Amino acid sequence: MAERSFKKEVQKLRLGEGDEFHGEGILAVTKALLQSGVSYVAGYQGAPISHLMDVLTDANDILEDLGVHFEHSASEATAAATLAASVHYPLRGAVTFKSTVGTNVASDALANLASGGVTGGALIIVGEDYGEGSSIMQERSHAFAMKSQMWLLDPRPNLPSIVRAVEQGFALSEASNTPVMLELRIRACHVHGRFRAKNNVRPPFSLKDAIEHPVRDVSRIVLPPSSYLHEQEKIQKRWPAAQQFIRRHALNEFFAEDSQTFGIILQGGMYNTTVRALELLGLSDVFGNTQMPLYVLNVTYPLVEEEVLRFCASKRAVLLIEEGQPDFLEQNLHSILRKAGLDTKVHGKDLLPMAGEYTAAVVIHGILKFIEAQAPHRIDRERLPTVVRPAPPKPPALQKLDREIHARPPSFCTGCPERPIFTAMKLVERELGPHHVSCDIGCHLFSILPPFNIGATTMGYGLGWAGAAAFNTRETGRRTISVMGDGGFWHNGLTSGVGNAVFNQNDSVLVVVDNAYTAATGGQDILSSQAANPIRTTRLSIADAVRGVGVKWVRTITRTYDVAAMRDVLREALTTREKGPKVIVAQSECMLNRQRREEPQLRKSAAEGQRVVRERFGVDADTCTGDHSCIRLSGCPSLTIRENPDPLRLDPVATVIDSCVGCGLCGEVAHAAVLCPSFFRTEVISNPTAWERFKSRLRTAVIIYLQKRLYNPPILSCLWGSQSWLPPASAGAPASHLPQPPTPAPSPHFSRPLTVAILAMGGEGGGVLADWLLDVAEHAGYYAQTTSIPGVAQRTGSTIYYLEMFPEDAARAAGKEPVLALMPVPGELDLAIASELMEAGRAIQRGFVTPDRTTLIASTHRVYSMTERTAIGDARVDDATLLDAGRAAAKNFVHADFAAIARESGSVISAALFGALAATRALPFERAQFEDAIRRGGVGVDPSLRAFAAGCVAQASLPVKPPAARDILQAGIERVTDYQDARYAAEYLDLLEPIRALGDSTLLDETARYLALWMSYEDAIRVADLKTRAARFDRVHRESRAGAAQLVQINDYVYPRIGELADILPARLGEWLLRVGWARRIVERFTRRGKIVETTSLRGFLRLYAVAAMRPWRRKSLRYQREHRRIREWLALIPQVAAEDIALAREVAECPRLIKGYGDTHVNGMRNFDALMSALPTLRRTDDAPAQLKKLREAALADDTGQKLAEALNAAARS
C-alpha cells in the first residue's frame, strides 16, 4: 500500500492528441513513456522517483490495455537487467531508480548492457537526490555514464522539455545502439506544470512477438572475443551516431548565441535557475529573452565537439554552470577547446563552488563575478538583487533570532513501530553498556539522530549486518548489533548479510525491522507484506527465510510496541551462551499504512452502528515530573511539551497532541523504564452494547458517590491572618489582541512572477495548501508552477513548497511562456506562509523574508524541536524572540494560532492559513476564488471552509506574564493544603518565616516555590488521589472528545514498586520491609512490573481510592520522615549562606529544582542535589560561588546520566 494514491491522477494518462496535460513531473514522465510506445517498465522505489513507481502501479490497467508490462523489481540491479529484453529485440524499455545509490547497485548490469549495446530503445530514468533534503551521499550519475558509455540527458526542468527528453531518449538510444540515462533532479520530479499531450502508442513489436519468435546475436553477448569488439564499436560507431543524432535533432539549445563575446554553458537542469539569476541581474526577462549567450546542455554526455566549438569560437570567455563534483564537464570542455586550438577562457568552479547544490543565490553570485570580470558596465549596481548586496546591519531582534533557531531533521513518524525497537536498545544499554551498532538504509536510520543517538555506520541498502562483519573475533564475548529493514532484507540483505554471517560463523545479533512495506520509500509492497496483492506475491516469512539460509537462533517479536518484551529478547540475544548468528525479527505494521487501511473501515463501521473502540493516550499534567525522560526514550512527534499549569513548577510538562494514533508506546516506555505514572489510555467506545451501558451507569453512580466522600480539605487563604506583607496584586495582561490590518498588496508587476513559499512539516498539509493555491492561480488565468521535496516533510522534518505564478494574458502578449524558478531566492519572495512559529523564524534566518516586499503569515503555535522536547528542564525558545523577529523582518506580519483555529473548526491548519492568506489581499484573487478551490478539492470541504472563514478573522495571542510574587506564595499555600491539609499549610508558613526575616524578596520567592514543591513530594497516595478526582474524570472526557452516546474508559499506567510501597508505610514498617530479605523478595514478586489499572471500573477505582484514603496517615510514613529531614537541612543552610553571600543563598534556594517525581527520576534528582550540597562548602570559599553553583545546577539538568554534572564538578574542583 503506497503512501500516496494516484488513482485519480492516472486518468490523465488517457489524454490524447492536443489535450492539455496538467500535473506533476513524474506523471508527465509516465505519459511520455506511453506516447513513446514503451513495451515494458521496471524499477525499484526510492526518492525522488518513488511516486513514479506508484503512478505506474496505479496505472497498471492502462498499461495492460496498451500491452505494456510493468513490475516492481527486487532491486535496482534486477531492474537494470530487465533491459536485456531490448538487446536483441526492437522493444522499447524503461527502468527507474534512485541515483546514485540505485545506480551503484545496478552498475554491473548497466555495464554489461552498455557493452553489448541495444536494438530497442533502453531508457534509464534516474532520480537525482542531490542537495537540500538529500538522504544519501552526494555523488553524480555523470560518472556512471562516462564509465560505461551511456548517454546522459539532463533536460530543462519543465514538463514539455522532460516529455521531449523521454521521447528523444528512446530515439537516441536506437540510433546509437546505446542505453540512455535520463537524469531528473528532485524538484523536477515534483514540479507541477502543463504540456500538450499526444496519443498513447501501442508497441508495434510486442513482448508476445519476442517470446514467440526468439532471436540471438552472439555479437551482443559480453564474452570474448565480442567484449573486445564492443569497446571499438562504442568509439567508432555508437559515439559518432549519437553526436550526429544530437546535432540533427537539436537536443541541445542555443539562446542569444552571438549577442556577446562571452557566454554561459550550463546543464539543462540548471536552466530555470540561471534565467532567474540573469533576470535579477537585469540581463534577461521572465520569458528567457536573455542578453547573455546561453548554450544549454540537455545532453551532458557526450558533449558534441562541433556545437562546443561553434559556441566558443566567438567568445573570449565562457562560464560553465556545472552542479556537483568532480568537474567532469569543465575538464571535457578544456580538452575540446585546447585540442581545437581555441584560447577561450573557461570559468567554472573558480567562480562557483566545487561542491553543493547550486541554489539561485549561489548561481547569482557566480554569474555576477563572471560579468564583473567580462563586462562590468552591464551591471547596474544600484539595482542588484538583495542576495548579492552588502548585508545591512541586523536589527537586535534578528541577531537574537540567529541564536535561537533549532535544526529540525526528519525522524520517525507518529506511531512508527520502529521507534520502540530503539527504545528497547536504550534500556538494554543502561543495563549492559553500549554496543557497536551497524545501521542500514531505511526509516530506522533515523536512530542515529536524537533522542536515540544509536548507530555507527551505514554501508548501503541491506548491508547492515555486512557492515559489522569485521567485528567477528573470539577475543571478546561482547556482541555487535546490526539493523536491517525488511526492504533491505529482500533487496540484498538475505545473501550479503545473513548468508555471509552464517557462512563465516558470525557471533553477533541482527534485528530485522519487519513493518510489512518498504516504508522509507513510500510504503510499497514487498515479499513479506501481509496485504493481499493481486499482481504481486506477498505474505512470505522473513523468519523462515533466515532459517532456510542456516540461522539457528531466531526470535520473532510480533508487536514491537511491547517495549519490555523487545528489551528482554535483545538482552537474551546479547548475553546467551549459544554461539552463532542471531536474528530478531521485529514485526509491526507501518503505522502510516495501517492508518490509511483502518481509519476508513472504522469510520464506516461506526456509521453503520457497529461497536468501534478508538484508543488515545494522554498525560496527567499534575503527575508529570517535567523530566521528559519519556520523550528521550521514545521521541514520538505526538509526545511533546506544553506550559506547566502549575504556577510553581517552571519546567514544561509532557503532553499528547491530536496527532496521536494510539500506538501505546508512551505508556509502554513508562512501564518498561519505570517512569512517572502520568500516562493513561482512554478507550472511546462508539455504539456500546446494552450491557456496557448498564455497567457504565452503575460504575458512574458509585464512583461519583465515593468522589464526594473523598477527603478534600479547604484551601487556607490567609497568611498568619494577614496578607499585608505580600506585594500588591498586579493587573493581569490582556489575553489577546486584534492584529493590525495588513496593508493591501500593490497591483502585481507582471514583469516578474509572484513568488510564494510555504514552510511546513509533515502532517500539516503544506502540500494541500500548495495544491489549493495552484488551483486558484490556474483557474484565475495564471501560469502556475509548484515544487517541493515531499519526502523530508513526510517524516516530520521541515521543508519548503515553492510556487510561482504569472498571468497568461501577459504571456500571450509577449508571445512566450514564462520561465519559472524551482526554488526561492533570498530577498525575492512576495509571500511566506509558515505552519509554525519556528518555521517562520527559519524563513527569516534564510533571508526569504524582507521588509520591503514580503508578507509573512505564521501560526503562533509551536511544534517543539527535539532539543526543546528532550531537555530535562526548560529549553524552549522564547516565543517573543520569534515574534519580534517577524515584526522586524516582514513588510506585513500576520500571526495567530491557526492550529487552534483549525482544531476548533474540525479541520487542518492548511485551511486556516489559506483563510489568512485570502484576508491579507497579498495575492490578486478574491475570497470566493479561494473558497472555490477548496470545493474543487472535494475532501473535507465543510470543515475546511469553516477553518478558512475563521482564519480570515484570526486573533493573535500574546504571551502570558509569569506569576507575581504574591501568586507564588498563594499558590504554595494552595498546593500544600490540597496535598495534605490546612495544618500542613501552616507548617509551610512557619518554615518560611526565617527566610522572610532575611528581607530578600527574591530569596523568599524561590524558597517558597521549591519548599511547596518539596513538601508536596509525589508518592503513591498523591498519585491515587489525583487520578480518582472528579475534575480529572471530566478533563479526560473532554480531551477524548467523546460524544454524548459514547463511553469513555480510562486505563492508568502505575508502578507500585517495593520502594513506593515502603514509602507510604509507617516509618518502622517501611524500613523493615526494605531491610528484611525474605519479605522484600515476596513483595517484589508482585511489584516487579508496572500495572495498568482501569480507573473507570469499580475494581480499579477502589484500589486507587483505598490508597488515596491513606492521606491522613501520611505524616507517619517513611517517605515523610526522610523528606522532611532533608527539607529542614536545606532550609537551615539558606540563612547561613545568606549571612555570607545573598546571591549564593538564592542559588541554594533553587537547587531543589533538581528533585522531581518518582522512582528512578526522583533517585537521580536527589543524587544530583546531594552532589551540589556536598560541593557547596568548597564553593563558598571561592569568589564566584553563585555562578559556579548555577553552572553545576545547569549541568545536572543537561543530561540524565550525570556525566555532565560529574565533568562540571571535576572542573570546579580543579579550579
Q: How far is it, in rounded angstroms, from Cα 894 to Cα 558? A: 49
Whole-number pLDDT of residue 715: 43
User: Exposed, middle or buried by CB within 10 Å (0-12, 13-18, 19+), for 698?
Assistant: exposed
Instruction: Specify the pLDDT at position 751.
Output: 80
Calculate the CA dihedral of residues 302, 303, 305, 307 and round it to 10 degrees: 130
Q: With a cut of 70, say whether residue 731 has pLDDT above it.
A: no
Cell representation of residue 1211: 572542573
Read off the pLDDT of residues 1031-1068 as tens digits, 9 standing for 90 and up: 999 999 999 988 889 999 999 998 888 888 999 999 99
Kindly state the average pLDDT of the residues 495-518: 95
pLDDT at 919: 94
- Assess whether pLDDT exceeds 90 at residue 763: no
Q: Are 799 and 891 in contact (CB under 8 A)?
A: no
Q: How confident is the model at residue 725 (pLDDT cuts 50, 70, 90)?
A: very low
Instruction: Supply φ then ψ for residue 1093, to 5 degrees.
Output: -105, 125
- CA-CA distance, 610 to 688, in Å (whole number)? 8
DSSP letters for 947-997: HHHHHHT--EE-PPPPPPHHHHHHHHHHHHHHHT-HHHHHHHHHHHHHHHT
Determine the pLDDT at residue 52.
87
Q: Is the pLDDT of residue 3 over 70?
A: no
Contact predicate 512/489, CB 8 Å = yes
Q: What is the pLDDT of residue 1100?
A: 95
The cell 523582518 sits on which residue?
A: 889
Q: At 1203, is the pLDDT very low, low, confident or very high (cuts 50, 70, 90)?
A: confident
- 1164-1190: average pLDDT: 93
717: left (phi over 0), alpha (psi -120 to 50) or beta: alpha
Q: Which amino acid is at 406?
A: H
1165 pLDDT higher than 60: yes
Q: How many CB atoms lie within 10 A of CB 45?
A: 28
Peptide bond into 48 cis (omega under 30): yes
Strand partners, 640: 655
For residue 144, the SS3 value is helix
| pLDDT, position 1157 | 78
Strand partners, 1035: none
Region 1187-1207: mean pLDDT is: 90
CA nearest 1110: which of 1029, 1019, 1033, 1031?
1019
Tell me, what's the pLDDT at 955? 54
| Residue type (1 letter), 739 | P
Q: How confident is the model at residue 347 (pLDDT cuts 50, 70, 90)?
A: very high
Please indicate whether residue 1202 or residue 248 has the higher confidence score (pLDDT).
248
Mean pLDDT for the stretch of residues 572-591: 95
Copy the grid coordinates of residue 773: 493555491
What's the rounded mean pLDDT across residues 845-862?
95
C-alpha cell at 426: 536504550
DSSP 14: G
Query: How large is the average pLDDT for residues 645-661?
Result: 91
pLDDT > 70 fraction of the chain, expressed in percent and rounded: 94
- The pLDDT tens digits of the residues spanning 683-724 come to 999 999 999 999 999 999 999 999 887 655 544 443 333 333
pLDDT for the residue 1084: 86
- pLDDT, greater one: 1127 or 382: 1127
| 3-state class (DSSP) for residue 923 | coil
State residue 793's pLDDT score. 42
Q: What is the pLDDT of residue 391?
A: 86
121 against 665, higher pLDDT: 121
pLDDT of the residue at 718: 36
* Mean predicted confidence (pLDDT) in 343-359: 95
**Buried b vs exposed e over 300-335: b needs ≥16 C-beta within 10 Å?**
bbbbbeebbbebbeebebbbbbbbbbebbbbebbee
As a three-state string, the secondary structure of 33-91 is HHHCCCCEEEECCCCCCHHHHHHHHHCHHHHHHCCCEEEECCCHHHHHHHCCHHHHCCC
Q: What are phi and psi of 1171, to 5 degrees?
A: -65, -40
The span from the CA of 308 to the CA of 329, in Å, is: 11
- Ordered alpha helix ranges (H), 675-722: 690-709
Q: Is the pLDDT of residue 553 over 50?
A: yes
Closest CA to 97 of 81, 114, 116, 111: 81
Give the pLDDT score at 726: 41
What value does the mean pLDDT of the chain take?
A: 91
What is 593-656 written as a DSSP string? HHHHHHHHHHHHHHHTT--EEEEEEEE-GGG--S--HHHHHH--TTEEEE--SSTT--SPEEEE
pLDDT confidence bin for 71, thresholds 50/70/90? very high
Is the pLDDT at 118 greater than 90? The verdict is yes
Asked if 155 contacts 162 with a C-beta cutoff of 8 angstroms, the reply is: yes
State the Cα–Cα distance between residues 964 and 366, nearest whole angstrom. 56
Which of 320, 268, 263 has its CA nearest to residue 153?
Answer: 268
According to the model, what pLDDT value does residue 722 have?
Answer: 33
**What average pLDDT does the segment 65-88 reach?**
96
Structure confidence by residue, pLDDT tens digits, 1079-1095: 999 988 888 777 899 99
Q: How many CB atoms lie within 10 A of CB 1181?
A: 7
Joined together, the cell numbers standing for residue 731 give: 493587573
Helix, strand, coil distribution of the chain in percent, nearest 5 = 50, 15, 35
Q: Cα separation of 831 and 1109, whole Å?
A: 60
* Three-state secondary-structure class, residue 925: coil
What is the mean predicted confidence (pLDDT) over 1124-1129?
96
Report d(CA 117, CA 119) in Å as an integer.
7
Average pLDDT over residues 793-812: 82
User: Hey, what amino acid is at 47?
Assistant: A
- Overall pTM > 0.85: yes
Is the pLDDT confidence value at 797 over 90?
no
Task: List C-alpha distances in Å: 524 to 3, 57, 437, 483, 516.
Answer: 8, 10, 27, 20, 9
Alpha carbon distance 952, 739 (integer Å)? 11
Average pLDDT (730-738) is 36
| CA separation for the pair 950, 912 (Å, rounded) | 7
Nearest to residue 1146, comparing CAs of 1212, 1183, 1193, 1205? 1193
Q: What percent of the chain has pLDDT over 90?
A: 76
Average the pLDDT over 518-540 and give the result: 84
8 A C-beta contact, residue 790 and residue 410: no
Average pLDDT value for residue range 507-513: 97
Residue-by-residue DSSP string for 724-768: TTSPPPPPPPPSEEPPPPPPPPPPPPTTS-EEEEEEEETTS-HHH
What would the 3-class secondary structure string for 120-143 be? CCEEEEEEECCCCCCCCCCCCCHH
Longest Cα separation, the chain: 108
pLDDT of residue 1: 53
Q: In the predicted model, is pLDDT for residue 301 greater than 50?
A: yes
d(CA 1192, CA 1171): 9
The x, y and z cell numbers of residue 1180, run together, are 563558598
